[in-house]
Copies of this chain bind each other. A is one copy, B any other.
Amino acid sequence: MDLQAILDGIGAEMAAAPERGRVADYIPELARVSVDHFGMAVCTADGQTFTAGEATTPFSIQSISKVFTLAIALGRLGDQLWGRVGREPSGLAFNSMIQLEHERGIPRNPFINAGAIVVTDAILAGHQPRELLGEILRFLREAAGDDDIHINRAVAASEQAHGHRNLALAHFMAAHGNLLHAPELTCGTYFHQCAIEMSALQLARAGRFLMGGADGGRILTPARRRRINALMMTCGHYDGSGEFAYRVGLPGKSGVGGGILAVAPGRASIAVWSPGLNAQGNSQLGTLAVERLTRATGWSVFG
> In the complex, how many angstroms separate the beta carbon of A153 from the nearest chain B beta carbon?
22
Q: In the assembly, what is the distance between CA of A108 and CA of B242, in Å?
A: 10
With a cutoff of 8 Å between Cβ atoms, the chain B residues found around residue A212 in the complex are 303
B98, B102, B175, B242: the one within 8 Å of A88 (CB) = B242
Chain B residues near A97 (CB-CB < 8 A): 97-98, 101, 172
Query: Which parts of A46-104 form the interface with B (CB within 8 Å)?
Result: 86-92, 94-95, 97-99, 101-102
Partner of A168, one of B99, B172, B245, B263: B172
Contact A242 B109 (CB under 8 A): yes
What separation, in Å, do the CA atoms of A229 and B222 have in the docked complex?
Answer: 23
A95 to B95, CA, bound (A): 8
Taking a contact as CB atoms under 8 Å apart, the answer to whether A303 and B225 are in contact is: yes
Looking across the interface, which residue of chain B has its beta carbon closest to that of A210?
Answer: B303
The reply on A241 being an interface residue by CB < 8 A is yes
Bound-state CA distance A142–B112 (Å) is 43
Q: Which of B88, B174, B243 touches A243 (beta carbons < 8 Å)?
A: B88
Query: What DSSP secondary structure best describes chain A's contact surface?
Result: helix
Q: Which of B102, B233, B235 sits near A92, CB closer than 8 Å?
A: B102
Whether B302 pairs with A226 at a CB distance below 8 angstroms is: yes
How close is A37's CB to chain B, nearest CB, in angstroms?
28
Q: Does A167 contact B (CB under 8 A)?
A: yes
Given contacts A86-B242, A95-B91, A98-B97, contact A302 B172 (CB under 8 A): no
Please tell me if the beta carbons of A265 and B302 are within 8 angstroms of each other in the complex.
yes
A240 interfacial contact with B, CB 8 Å? yes
How far is the CB of A237 from the nearest CB of chain B, in Å?
A: 10
Distance of A224 from chain B, by nearest CB (Å) = 11
Is A132 engaged at the interface, CB distance under 8 Å to the other chain?
no
List residues of A (96-130) whose CB comes within 8 Å of B's CBs.
97-99, 101-102, 108-109
Chain B residues contacting A245 (CB-CB under 8 Å) are: 230-231, 233-234
**Chain B residues in 8 Å Cβ range of A92:** 91, 95, 98-99, 102
Cβ contacts under 8 Å, A226 to chain B? 249, 300, 302-303
Interface centre among A91, A183, A300, A303 (most CB of B within 10 A): A303
Judged by a CB distance under 8 angstroms, whether A211 is at the interface is: yes
| A101-B92 Cα distance, complex, nearest whole Å | 12
Complex CA gap A167/B227 in Å reads: 35
Which chain B residues border A222 with CB–CB below 8 Å?
303
Task: Given contact pairs A88-B89, A233-B302, A234-B234, enumerate 7 new A-B contacts (beta carbons under 8 Å).
Answer: A88-B240, A91-B91, A91-B99, A92-B95, A226-B302, A230-B246, A301-B302
